[in-house]
């Protein structure tokens, strides 16, 4: 086995039909894993599964993770398909932007339910399957997809989003302590990547991001794919409780 080989492993990626989730699924497939992708929009998952099927086994699932019941339902579906789960990528999320004076209660409820509560509920429900995959040499893995907006004060008025991502980073540390040694829990904090969620922001700000970022560009699919494979593989068997920025250096760059 090589450090980055995931042959024989099984992974679940939430929000796997597009954007960061699709990038994660791509990397896992290329490394040899069987990948289940889940989304509220089953059509997105089916389209992604069809596009990536030549790389390996990928299975689309429908899931609404905005409620505890939806998280339980997805965990039950996964348990009916696999005997053990090596990797859980908690990626499904939502964003909401509005001026401070107009920011509504619904913006807190929707974003916290999906971006913070769902990763906890799903990890809780799938902990048994994750422990089944763990070995003394290599723990099972939970990867929480955070954001650089949870590492620094964002320029945009996305109060609930940035707060939820900062909380998810800390929940990652808490769960790393709670679930070790059988399960390693880490987070990835992406910067700007081409995705539907980021489309409007990139239309307005991509040139600024590229000017400010020390590496001079926005993210590419392989940047997320590589980070996910690293944190899912033997290469990171001694890493837990970490938050890895994948942002070209934006989170440490001065905006002045």
Q: Where are the domains of the chain?
A: 10-249
Please report where in the chains the tokens 């932007």 appear, as a residue: 97
Token reading at 60? 């689309």
CATH class of domain segment(s) 10-249? alpha beta
Active site residues: 161
Report pLDDT digits (tens) over 178-223. 999 999 999 999 998 887 777 777 777 788 888 889 999 988 999 9
Report the percentage of the chain scoring pLDDT > 90. Answer: 86
Helix (H, G, I), strand (E, B) or coil at 146: coil
DSSP 87: E
What are the Cα distances from residue 93, in Å, to 53, 137, 162, 169, 211?
24, 32, 12, 14, 27
Higher pLDDT, residue 69 or 208: 69
Report pLDDT digits (tens) over 10-60. 999 999 999 999 999 999 999 999 999 999 999 999 999 999 999 999 999
Cα distance from N-terminal residue to C-terminal residue, the chain: 47
Per the prediction, the chain carries an average pLDDT of 94
What are the Cα distances from residue 117, in Å, to 36, 44, 138?
21, 23, 27
Q: What is the pTM of this model?
A: 0.95
């Amino acid at each position: 086995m090589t450090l980055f080989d995931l042959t024989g492993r099984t992974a679940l990626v939430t929000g796997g039909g597009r954007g960061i989730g699709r990038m994660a699924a791509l990397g896992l497939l290329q490394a040899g894993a069987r990948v289940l992708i889940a989304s509220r929009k089953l059509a997105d998952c089916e389209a992604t599964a069809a596009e990536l099927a030549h790389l390996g086994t990928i299975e689309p699932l429908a899931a609404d993770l905005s409620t505890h019941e939806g998280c339980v339902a997805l965990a039950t579906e996964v348990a009916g398909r696999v005997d053990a789960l090596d990797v859980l990528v908690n990626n499904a999320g939502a964003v909401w932007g509005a001026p401070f004076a107009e920011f509504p209660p619904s913006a807190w409820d929707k974003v916290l339910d999906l971006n913070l509560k769902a990763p906890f509920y799903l990890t809780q429900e799938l902990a048994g399957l994750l422990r089944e995959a763990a070995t003394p040499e290599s723990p099972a893995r939970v990867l929480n997809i955070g954001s650089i907006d949870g590492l620094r004060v964002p320029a945009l008025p996305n109060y609930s989003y940035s707060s939820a991502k900062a909380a998810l980073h800390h929940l990652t540390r808490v769960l790393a302590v709670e679930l070790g040694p059988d399960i390693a829990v880490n987070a990835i904090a992406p910067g700007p990547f081409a995705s539907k969620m980021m489309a409007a922001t990139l239309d307005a700000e991509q040139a600024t991001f590229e000017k400010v970022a020390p590496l001079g560009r926005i993210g590419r699919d392989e940047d997320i794919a590589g980070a996910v494979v690293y944190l899912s593989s033997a290469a990171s068997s001694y890493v837990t409780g970490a938050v890895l920025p994948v942002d070209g250096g934006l989170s440490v760059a001065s905006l002045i």
